[in-house]
Structures are given as C-alpha cells and as structure tokens.
Amino acid sequence: MATPYADALRHFSDRNPLRLNIPGHGADEAATPELTEFFGDQLLERDVTPLLPGLDVGRDNPLSAAQKLAAEAWGARRVWFLTNGASQANRIAAIALGGFRQVENPVLVQRSAHSSFIDGAILSGLQPVFVQPRIDDHYGIAHGASVDDLAQKLAENPTVKGVYMVSPSYFGAVADVEAFAEVAHSAGVPLLVDAAWGAHFGFHPNLPPHPIALGADLVVSSTHKLGGSLTQSAMIQLAEGPFADELQVLVQRAFMVTQSTSMSSLLLASLDLAREALQHGESRIARSIESAEELRSRIRAEGRFGIASDNWKLPEIVGTDPLRVAIDVQQAGLNGHAVLNELVAQAIYPEISTDSCIVAFVGPGRSPDWDRFLNALNSLKPEGELAYSAGERRALPEAGNLRMLPRAAWLAPNEVVDSKDAVGRVSTESLSAYPPGIPNVLPGEEFTAETIEFLQYVAATPGGYVRGALDPEVSKVRVVAKS
C-alpha cells in the first residue's frame, strides 16, 4: 500500500531533528509530558466523532467545561476552541467586525495583518483603513505600529467601528497593547489583537502580559505555536468589557460558519492539555526562558554573530518575547536564507529567516541542544551561496494604492497577465511572501514594480514561497479585467 505522506513523516522523525520551530511542544516529552502521557499509543482510540454524550453534548459537558477553564486561565469572558488554526480565528474576527454596528463603516487594520484576516475581510466585505507598522529594513521585518499613528488614523476616520492590531510580531517584538486599548476605547470602539504568537504570554513573570490583561476586547491565539497544543489547534478569546455582549453574539455566529462540524477530538484535547500545562507549568517555562537566554549569552560571548533584538531601540517596541532568539548572521558575512537551508540539511530547523538573520523558537518547557545548534552554525563559512551580498537585499515594499474593496476585487471579472505587465493593475488575490505570511499585495490594491520584484525574489530564495501565487516563480498574476 502506498502511503507517501506517512512514510515521509516517519522518515522526518527518524532523523532525530533538532526542532527550533513550531509547534511549541517540539516533540519533546520534557516540554509537555501531559501530551505524551495522554496520547501515547492510544491516538486512534481517542480520535472520535463529535456530538457524543459524555464528551460534548448537553449542558455543562466536558468540552464546555474545558473552554470555561481556558477562559479563567486567560482572564476572558469566553473562549472558543478552534481546529482550523489562528487562520480560522482571524476569519472569525473579520466576520464579526463586518457585522459589528454599522456594516458599511470601516475598520482600522494594521497593514501587516496576517493573510487570513484579509481572507476574512473578503468573506465579510470589510472595508479596511490601514495603519502602517514600523518597517525594519536592516532585518527585513515589520514590527508593531505606533500609538500616535493609531490615534491619528482614528482622528482622520471618525466612522471607524473597530481596531485590529498585531502583537507580538513573528520575530517577538511586543507592541504597546495597553496604549492601543486606551486609544481605541477613547474613540468608542473595540480593540481586536492578533496575538497568534503570544499564546504563552502572561504565564510567567518574565513573559509579557497577555493582551486581555492589557485591555484588548478580542484576541486571536494560535495555541499550537508557542502554547504547546497540536498543530492547527487555536483559540479566540473574548474579554469582559463594554463591547462583550455585542461581540459575543457575532463571534459565535462567525464560529458557526467557519468551524468544521467534525472537529478533531485530538486537537480539542490538546488545547485542554496545553492550557493545563501553561497554567501550572511556571517552572517549566522558567527553564525554557533560561535556555533561550543561554543561547543569547553564548552568541554574544563568541562575538561572531549578533542578537537582532539587541538593536530594536524603537518606541513602537515595548518588550520582546524571551522565547524567541533572532540571530544576526549577516554580521558573520552569511545570508540568512542560505544558512537556514544548510541547517535544515543537517536536520536542524529554525523557524524563519530573512536576508540578515534566522530565528530559533524555544517552546515552553523545552531546553534544546545548543551545542548541536551552535556547532552547526559556527561551521558555516561565508562562501558561495552562503555569502551575504548587500546587493541582493530586497527591502519590504510599500503597499500599492487600495483602489477597490477586497471583496469587490476578489469577485470582479479577472484575467491572468504576465507579472511584468501587472504594474498599475488591480490585484484580485492576496499574495503573501512566506515567511512570515504578511500580505504584500491585497485584493483591490495596485501592483507596483517593487512588489513584483520582491515577490519573485522571495519565491527564488531557499525555503521561500508566495501564498496565493499562480505559479512558484510568480511569473503570472491575476488582475481585475479591463472593462
């Protein structure tokens, strides 16, 4: 019998990979013994259909009880367990905002929102008004947005009915969520926060506070990323507050139209176990914080590489996630994408790379083998493809003008053109360079020459691809047809 995916997965795990990427449990028994003990060799026995008495049917059933415990753990009014990742949570948030108060009123959205939120805007007909994040050209990443910029955008757009911001960033930069909440609430609108990368926040004094504790009204949480649950499991968390009654109804309705009617019992159970591990695992989290700091200290002491977050002296950044280690490899004359590719060939998997750096994640409870990692990293020489060239750097391009609402552009008659002929045309698709999955062009935005060049550059880098592209090289794109 042919089982190509299962065989490949077995081969992957047999290589004893050093996993410095998500999911947060890292297949490490010491990180989340609850998962290992629970699943063991009984996985198939515990993979069951929904709507079973004693599991998820009836008043105060175990599933609803687990969600209530999660709400208590995160200080929320209500939590929904999701089995289609934070992408589903983002779509729920966008659909809920679409139906919030005056349907035609716009929503203020951080331009570096994940592509799944834009998917939700397409589904809901949301009218976005964008606030730009701070772009770090040296490392090729987007950090948080400015509180002053948010306040100015709200003043310029008095009919905005909600605010959607991102914190932390993929690289671990934490924005001033408390100030965002104060500004949004002063304008009489709710604050929604994409905290996909911060599910673990608030469970140790050396971690940043969770957005709910800082005043956010609705929070997207990708629990599997650094919370320890299984891949594709997530939560959306509703806070108590002046908007809770209205938002709860809208979120529940959006949940019903986005969630599978065959939710995975394994994913749901892993969310319950991850909550327990986070809530009562402060000592394990402390061990991981110490482990990540050990890596930073060793890199600083050796002097060949740098720690990127040491250079983040920006007012938009009020903190960093200590479980993410962004390593400046350009300092050693190396290209970050090529470094990641070489490490992967040795079964060492960092989470992300840019031209200038790579990022290692340490899930709560983990203490990776830093000798193995540093020996491999230090063995790399700035030769051939590994050599960094400043001429190869591509800055993140500015977005083109938004000429149509995303939903209108997505539904419009369209045609496929060569990318070189798309400059000035309106995209019908959301195209996002991965990593990190932030849309570089949205439905309704103009293609620019810089955007086309950037997407093609990322598509050609080791491990890079463009979500939504018609072909791997991004040689063609889909645009609104000329009338």
- Per run of 10 residues, the mean pLDDT along the chain (length 483 residues) is 69 83 80 82 79 87 92 97 97 97 95 92 95 83 92 97 97 97 98 97 98 98 95 97 97 96 90 92 96 98 97 92 97 94 95 91 95 98 90 77 95 97 96 79 96 91 84 96 88
Q: Find out whether 172 and 198 touch, Cβ atoms under 8 Å.
A: no
Of the candidates 10, 32, 11, 55, which has an alpha carbon nearest to the alpha carbon of residue 270? 32
* Pairwise CA distance, residues 316 & 166, whole Å: 12
For tokens 């779509």, the residue is 91
Q: Find out whether 80 and 236 touch, Cβ atoms under 8 Å.
A: yes
Looking at residue 466, what is its pLDDT?
Answer: 93
Q: Find out whether 218 and 331 touch, Cβ atoms under 8 Å.
A: no
Residue 1 one-letter amino acid: M
For tokens 């679409």, the residue is 98
Instruction: Render 333-398 in DSSP notation, one character per residue.
Output: TB-HHHHHHHHHHTTEEESEE-SSEEEEE--TT----HHHHHHHHHT--S-GGGB--GGG--PPPP
Residues in the chain: 483
pTM for this entry = 0.92
Q: Using N-to-C axis directions, what is the helix angle for 370-378 and 336-345, rounded to 10°?
A: 120
Residue 232 one-letter amino acid: Q
* Pairwise CA distance, residues 441 & 423, whole Å: 12
Looking at residue 339, what is its pLDDT?
Answer: 96
* Pairwise CA distance, residues 334 & 341, whole Å: 12
For tokens 């509180």, the residue is 147
Query: 61: how many CB neighbours lie within 10 A of its CB?
Result: 14
Quote the tokens at residue 423. 């400059």
Q: Is 404 helix (H, G, I), strand (E, B) or coil?
A: coil
Using CA atoms, how far residue 264 sits from 50, 62, 70, 208, 271, in Å, is: 8, 15, 18, 31, 11
CA atoms within 13 A on the CB side of 54: 1
User: What's the CATH code, domain 406-480?
Assistant: 3.90.100.10
Q: Do domains 44-279 and 406-480 have the same CATH topology?
A: no
Q: Is 458 helix (H, G, I), strand (E, B) or coil?
A: helix
Looking at residue 463, what is its pLDDT?
Answer: 67
303 Cα distance to chain centroid: 31
* Pairwise CA distance, residues 232 & 66, whole Å: 18
Kindly provide the residue ranges of all beta strands, DSSP E only, lying in 93-152, ordered along the sequence: 107-110, 128-131, 133-136, 141-145
Looking at residue 438, what is its pLDDT?
Answer: 78
Looking at residue 55, what is its pLDDT?
Answer: 86
Residue 151 one-letter amino acid: A
- Kindly calculate the radius of gyration of the chain based on its CA atoms and give it in whole angstroms: 22
Looking at residue 334, what is its pLDDT?
Answer: 96
Residue 99 one-letter amino acid: G
Say which CATH architecture domain 44-279 belongs to.
3-Layer(aba) Sandwich (3.40)
CA atoms within 13 A on the CB side of 161: 17
Looking at residue 281, what is its pLDDT?
Answer: 93
Burial class (CB in 10 A: 0-12, 13-18, 19+), 301: exposed
Looking at residue 436, what is its pLDDT?
Answer: 64
Q: Is the N-terminal amide bond of 435 cis, ω within 30° of 0?
A: yes
DSSP designation for 401: P
Q: Find out whether 162 and 344 touch, Cβ atoms under 8 Å.
A: no
Of the candidates 81, 82, 90, 85, which has an alpha carbon nearest to the alpha carbon of residue 116? 90
* Pairwise CA distance, residues 164 & 158, whole Å: 15
Query: Domain residue spans in the chain?
Result: 44-279, 406-480
